[in-house]
Chains A and B, each alone.
Chain A
Amino acid sequence: MDVDPRTEEQSRLLTESENLAVLAVLDEADGDCTVRDLAEGLLDREVAVVETEEYQRRLEETVVTLHHQKLPRLADAGLLEYDPETHRVAVQGGAVQWRRPAVPEGVAEYLETVGGGEDETGTAADGEGLGTVQGRDAVVQYGRELVDEADSEVFCIYVSTELLRDECIERVRRAIERDVSVHIGSQNQTVRRLVRERLSGVTVWEPQTDWLNTSSFPRLGRLVFTDRSKVMLAVLDESATDDGDPQETAIVGEGVTHPLVVLVRDLLGPRLDHLDYQSDEFTSQLPS
């Protein structure tokens, strides 16, 4: 599969959380701001409280790095526009493409077809019908059903090996036999290794920390997203236990226009196309 080198550069840049932060701050500024605004926005995201003098120093350093290094680089890759003379930063082409890349021809129709069979009555359209699933067993069961029903594509994210049980592996294997394309992501290296060892034909990826990482409870335990139209997002509350296992609750949604589905598709957006570049082998070859 030939990849446009520009897209390759884009996905490489998007693996760096600093760059994602720049794009996020720019987005918050409605896609148009100055270098200084951007630097302030970036510093605001840092939790540490510093004295004014230190803040000013950091601000200045950030501005310099943005102007001389980060912004020209991002602009070269087509992720934003930067005018070094006016110091204005703007979103590329006026659209927030880093989150919702231009949908290639054919894929838009595919998404319609895949979502077309779903029940898109009032529940999906008006944003209600956000189902919840309580308790670990029910969550596991729901996830399995999603995988069993998948026609073309399954995305999973697992936080830990305990969540990835034998039955899950079996179900995924059966899905692969049905020619479903499967992608499993985990920040946990052991999970990734286990998946690779026990399943062939699965794309394994390492989700980036920017939206998954939370040090507070509850945290994401598993995500199952099938056919780009059905999603289950389960959170773990490790402070409460269900017979020794952390309590799990999931929110679910079905339908291409269902807000939860749209959100997850948005979050996975650039990664849906560039998963190969997130694999361990690739990232280990990148210069540090």
Chain B
Amino acid sequence: MTDEITNDDGAGLDGSDREVELSRAIGDRPPSRAVVRAVSSLKNTPVLELEPLYEVVDPEHLDAVWRSSASGGVGRCAVSFEYGGCVVSVFRDEVRVRRIGDGPE
């Protein structure tokens, strides 16, 4: 799996060695999958332990919106929502996730 995980230097770390934000390239897979994996990475929680993404947004719809904007030349599309205690932003090429607040995982 060839993911690029880039962390914001310095500004992203909250001092307790826990990452606050990370980005992940979408690549070939559907963005819904990238979202789930990104949140899982950031929170250091197995993918199956996260609540189903469906509870927040229907992955099929998310993927469809992303697909139609990627090919339709509409310009930038960004979808943002809260999931798993993170703010998730889906851009054309990458997914960005950031912890909300400073609370426990």
Partners in one complex: yes
- Mark contacts of B25-38 with chain A using CB atoms, 8 A cut-off: 1 yes-contact digit, 0 otherwise: 00000001100100
Q: CB-nearest residue of chain B relative to A68?
A: B53
CA distance A287 to B32 in the complex (A): 17
Our count of residue pairs bridging A and B at CB distance below 8 angstroms stands at 38
Is B11 an interface residue, CB under 8 A from the partner? Answer: no
CA distance A287 to B33 in the complex (A): 20
**Chain-A contact segment, one of B54-62, B72-80, B90-98:** B54-62
Within 8 A of B (CB), among A187-230: none
Q: Are A35 and B48 in contact (CB under 8 A)?
A: yes
Specify the main secondary structure of chain B where it touches its partner. helix
Q: Are A69 and B32 in contact (CB under 8 A)?
A: yes
Is B86 an interface residue, CB under 8 A from the partner? Answer: no
Q: Are A69 and B48 in contact (CB under 8 A)?
A: no
Is B47 an interface residue, CB under 8 A from the partner? Answer: yes
CA distance A84 to B64 in the complex (A): 24
> How many chain A residues have a CB neighbour from B under 8 Å?
15
Q: CB-nearest residue of chain B relative to A70?
A: B54
Q: Are A68 and B54 in contact (CB under 8 A)?
A: yes
Q: Are B58 and A73 in contact (CB under 8 A)?
A: yes
Residues of A within 8 A of B (CB): 35, 61, 63-65, 67-69, 71-73, 76, 84, 87, 287
Residues of B within 8 A of A (CB): 32-33, 36, 47-48, 50-55, 58-60, 64
Given A64-B33, A68-B54, 11 additional A-B pairs, CB 8 A: A65-B33, A67-B52, A68-B36, A68-B50, A69-B52, A69-B59, A72-B52, A73-B58, A76-B54, A84-B51, A84-B52
